[in-house]
Structure 1
Amino acid sequence: MKRCRTPNTKVCRMNEVCSPYYDPDFDSLPERIYGPACRVDIDNESLEDCTIVTIDSVKKQGLLLEVVQALTDLNLTISKGYISSDAGWLMDVFQVKDELGNKVTDKRVINYIQQAIGSNSLTSLTAKARPSSDSQPGEPKAIEMTGKDRPGLFSEISAALADLGCNIIEAHAWSHNARLACVAHISDQSADTPIDDHRLHAIEDHLTTVLRATTSKSAENPNQQEAKPAGLPKGELSTTTRVERRLHQLMLSGRDFDRPPEQTRSPTPGSDSDDEERKSSVVSIESCVEKGYSIVTIQCKDRRRLMFDTVCTLTDLQYVIFHASVDSCEGYAYQEYFIRHADGCALNTEGEKDRVIKCLEAAIERRVCEQGVRLELCAYNRVGLLSDITRLLRENGLAVVRADVATKGEKSVNAFYVRDISGNNVDLDFIKSMKREMGAIDLSVMKETTNSQPASNERPKLSIGEILKFQIERLSNGFIAIK
């Protein structure tokens, strides 16, 4: 072949000859010889009432959590599950249903499951999170906050962000055992002005001051009451389960599994039902000496995302799940995990077993609101909207125990789980007064329950949440129910 004489020539044949040859079929050669590293099978024929999802894959730490997370992202309910790993290979079998309790028949959902759980799962999830965020000049910034909870703290955080001219694009907050964890996605009130690092540090310092502003001197570690950049990979904040896993980690690092002394159980009106629910949640650990496993057994009321919460906790505690079985029947869940620590050891000491039990109990309780009422609000988004809403809740004596805030187009969709600070039920007078003060904000109210399906075929009675909802429909001509 003729050699190229001038080095500045635009097309140089010498370079074309010397460049390494790339065979596009080479990367798939191991898969064609040994089979795919991960196979996902969707079966809608074997059972009448649910879809069977089977995953055969090379075993790796955290894979089970990725699978459960992908199913949870689609709001699928896992009614049964079997997990087994041996000789470096893992097989998961799940029986799942959609939000309406039916089989999964949507081709788009099926394709998403196969792509998300397959070898390119991380790429698929990241690409679906927010594909255009990198090109926006005012890209939102993520901040996480942890601290000792107090009445009105979430309202104070919202007010502080509004005073600093920050628009809350997305926020998720949990409160449990006098601890608060929050992950917020914020932008500048001007969409064309990004929040630079200098201003972000100033916002974090201000929020840290709010978190540490208590009436009495706190004996806690100051590092457990602070605001800092969110510990999430870029572009994944829009995936709800990734945010929820981070909330689990923040609560775990804040030791919310240690019940504060001021929460000792005393006989109060309405507390008997809470005690019964806590007694119905049983976590125990036994030893399987022959195989070197520790067997973790969980029995509690069933609810959505329960398996995600328990698998998250075991994974973050650095335990490997080798075998597991999950079952739910008539609103009750039974889970069994065969685990070892990441170093290969079982749980040998009583102290370690006690800590794992407390952490799992906390993971089960974090998402459940005792005597909680769910408020759903929808309004056109603006700076200070969340501050105004939470201020009204605080002024009416309500404590926010959980919050999910999201922006859809020009509207802000807010879901709050609230309960009365004094322990009383939320009455209609509060709803009427709050509706008058909120003006053009659509409001829906429902009773929070932990059982997603009725245990019998009896006609359900109207709950207090449904009564409130019907009353609000009469009060508001522009009522919008947010699913």
Structure 2
Amino acid sequence: MMACGSRSNEMVDEFEKLVIRMNPPRVTVDNASDMTATLVKVDSANKYGTLLEVVQVLTDLKLTIKRAYISSDGEWFMDVFHVVDQDGNKLYDGQVIDRIEQSLGAGSLSFRGTDRCVGVEAEAEEAQTVIELVGRDRPGLLSEVFAVLTNLRCNIAASEVWTHDGRMAALVYVTDADTGGGIDDQDRLDRVKRLLRHVLRGSSRDKKSARAAISARASAAPHAQRRLHQMMRADDGNGEDGGGRSLPVVVEVEDCAERGYTLVNVRCRDRPKLLFDTVCTLTDMQYVVFHGTVIAEGSEAYQEFYIRHLDDGAAASDEDRERLRRGLEAAIQRRSTEVLNRSVGTMTKHSH
């Protein structure tokens, strides 16, 4: 039975690949239709996660999405994004336009984000090992983590650290300080994990509140910011409930049974990467966006999504809707706190 099920899944995967090959993604970058923004239109065969991959590419290129119209009902995915650069201008840089077309257009059977780890060139990723850390936030914690790694002859190539509600999640990209390559010695990696868990626990006796893991080589690791969302969502319930600096967020999740959907409305102050955070959460909680409207042209952002769960259709129960509401609210608020980035010998602190 298992072998039969495996063959069935393989047949489905091959069919999806065939559909994509027969209907390759089409991307159009339009600078004529809107006076204030560039329109990026993406049409492709629909598959789970397509919306997140497109938003991820635009976000990694540091573009601001002012409006978006999403439709993926049926076998086809059709989206229109109104985007501007970091200065609020339309896109006239030919290199940026080429990157959009190459990342989202024909020839890319699976969309790829442009950045995996902070501040590191793609060609250096193969040699890096990724360490995942989750624990209680406290003053001096990051310095202690870096000191342990330095003492263990680990060179810190880059890291990204998020903190929210008294909790910390971090991705640290390291190489062997002597060879410059990845760290493959399992005994050494086990020692790294053991000592880092000790540092993360500090004086706390709650061993479950700290976690250190060796994820993968950077070239094979998930998108960094998506992974940080996943780590912090998995850690929900360990926080101190009240960081005090979170932005006011209104998230409404309603049953729309007559249309076979769950309706999600999000209203909050606009900020960079807001759409990535909400779509990332919906995707990782296994919801599919069938229709959506995003408006973020002033100080406030409005997002409306008609969704269904990947397995069970609409989120039918009150418990499911409340879990989804809390997940979206947390994803929006955690980016609103300060994020710490360390990249190859430099330390910068900035707010998202």
Q: What TM-score range do you get, normalising by the shorter chain?
A: 0.7 to 0.9
Match of 1:405 among 342, 347, 350: 342
Secondary structure at 1:150's aligned position in 2? coil
Letter in 2 for 1:300: C
- What is residue 173 of structure 1 aligned with on the other side? 161
- What is residue 416 of structure 1 aligned with on the other side? 349
Letter in 1 for 2:212: A
Q: Which moved further from structure 2: 55-64 or 197-206?
A: 197-206
Q: CA deviation at 1:180?
A: 1.2
- What is residue 245 of structure 1 aligned with on the other side? 226
Letter in 2 for 1:352: D
Letter in 1 for 2:91: V
Q: CA deviation at 1:146?
A: 1.2
- What is residue 54 of structure 1 aligned with on the other side? 41
| Residue pairs, 1:299-338, within 5 angstroms | 299-338=267-306
Q: CA deviation at 1:413?
A: 3.0
Q: Say if 2:42 is the partner of 1:74.
A: no
CA distance in 2, matches of 1:329, 1:282: 18
Q: Say if 2:314 is the partner of 1:346.
A: yes
Greater gyration radius? 1
Letter in 1 for 2:38: T
Distance change (3 Å), C-alpha of 1:133 and 1:358: same
Q: CA deviation at 1:87?
A: 2.3
Distance change (3 Å), C-alpha of 1:315 and 1:159: same
CA distance in 2, matches of 1:351, 1:287: 12
**Length-normalised TM-score, structure 2:** 0.85
Secondary structure at 1:416's aligned position in 2? strand
Letter in 2 for 1:404: N
Any unmatched runs of 5+ in structure 2?
1-17
RMSD: 2.7
Secondary structure at 1:67's aligned position in 2? helix
Q: Tell me, yes or no, if the aligned pair for 2:155 and 2:177 is still in contact at 8 Å.
A: yes
Match of 2:194 among 196, 205, 213: 205
Letter in 2 for 1:43: D
Match of 1:147 among 135, 142, 147: 135
Q: CA deviation at 1:283?
A: 0.3
Match of 1:88 among 75, 90, 93: 75
Secondary structure at 2:223's aligned position in 1? helix
- What is residue 9 of structure 2 aligned with on the other side? none
Q: Say if 2:337 is the partner of 1:365.
A: no
Any unmatched runs of 5+ in structure 1?
1-28, 266-270, 370-400, 418-447, 451-483
% of aligned pairs identical?
A: 40
Secondary structure at 2:324's aligned position in 1? helix
Letter in 2 for 1:141: T
CA distance in 2, matches of 1:327, 1:359: 21
- What is residue 40 of structure 1 aligned with on the other side? 27
Note the alpha carbon deviations across 1:124-176, whole angstroms, 9 max, x for none: 848987554478xxx22111111222333222212211222222101001011
Letter in 1 for 2:264: V
Secondary structure at 1:104's aligned position in 2? coil
Q: Tell me, yes or no, if the aligned pair for 2:53 and 2:112 is still in contact at 8 Å.
A: no
**Length-normalised TM-score, structure 1:** 0.63
CA distance in 1, matches of 2:275, 2:181: 41
CA distance in 2, matches of 1:264, 1:114: 43
Note the alpha carbon deviations across 1:357-394, whole angstroms, 9 max, x for none: 1111111111112xxxxxxxxxxxxxxxxxxxxxxxxx
Note the alpha carbon deviations across 1:58-103, whole angstroms, 9 max, x for none: 1100000000000011000000000012221110000000111111
CA distance in 1, matches of 2:99, 2:80: 17
Distance change (3 Å), C-alpha of 1:348 and 1:125: closer
CA distance in 1, matches of 2:325, 2:19: 42
Distance change (3 Å), C-alpha of 1:156 and 1:343: same
Q: Say if 2:212 is the partner of 1:227.
A: yes
Distance change (3 Å), C-alpha of 1:140 and 1:322: same
- What is residue 147 of structure 2 aligned with on the other side? 159
Letter in 2 for 1:64: L
- What is residue 13 of structure 1 aligned with on the other side? none
CA distance in 2, matches of 1:124, 1:170: 24
CA distance in 2, matches of 1:235, 1:57: 26
